[in-house]
Amino acid sequence: MAITIAILPLFADTLATMIGRLQTYFLAGVLACIAAAPAAAQDGLAADGLIVSRNQVRIASQIAGQVIRLPKRDGEAFNAGDLLVEIDCAILQAEIIAAEKRQAAAQARFDINARLDRAGAVAKGELRVTKAEAEGAEAEAEALRQQFRQCTVTAPFDGRVVDLHTAEFASVSSTEDLLTVIDDVNLEVELIVPSVWLKWLETGTTFRFQIFETEQVLDLAVSQIGAAIDPVSRTISLRAAIAEKPPGILSGMTGRAIFAAP
């Protein structure tokens, strides 16, 4: 019993010390929140964002063959219509020549039968057969010409090469990735904001966006609001187009958007 009585005061002192420390930590946290509140009110409502491109495309080969030209390298710029990849299609080109010869022969047979038909010297069935053969040969030749156009890959827009997935003299299969390109002209800022902001947020709402990497500040306006709210995080996505891209801005840069408090 004496030992128990001796331990009780020690436990009480320890418990009081712990409670005192918890009170100190709690008070410090409250004071920190109070100190931060004026800065948040002064800066407005903030949300971190990301600069993204409207167009980023992974281009795949439409035919099998050997890459013979790959004029652009990682990071290089290009204009719409510039050659990005050329695949060796010498065999296909020879097949096109042969198909066009067959088309010419079939058309010649049909033309002869057409003249004979006007003179009543050929059966109607024979005329229809030669006509179908001529049309089929023309379609075959056109299909090969369309396939030949896939031997060269041209840029769909002005931009830059993000990554090459092949190399010159490499053999590629149909649907194999060749390169990834990005439109570095038409950029947007993408934000994820609390859904409660929809009480006052709308298309056209202006804000300032400070880029972390360059410390540049852009004056932007919301151009698109997401179609659905994420029910778990209670957030919604926003986009704001960068109408005139300042020098030095790249897709993937991050920053902070500051909205005026409603």
pLDDT tens for residues 194-234? Answer: 999 999 999 999 999 999 999 999 999 999 999 999 999 99
Burial label for 61, CB within 10 Å (0-12, 13-18, 19+), is buried
Is the pLDDT reported for residue 63 higher than 60? Answer: yes
Dist CA 191 CA 45 (whole Å): 13
pTM here is 0.69
Contact 56, 162 (CB under 8 A): yes
In the sheet that holds 152-154, the strands lie side by side as: 152-154, 83-87, 65-69, 171-172
Residue 118 contacts by C-beta under 8 Å, 6 or more apart in sequence? none
- What value does the mean pLDDT of the chain take? 86
With both helix axes pointing from N to C terminus, report the angle between 124-149 and 90-118 in degrees, rounded to the nearest 10: 160
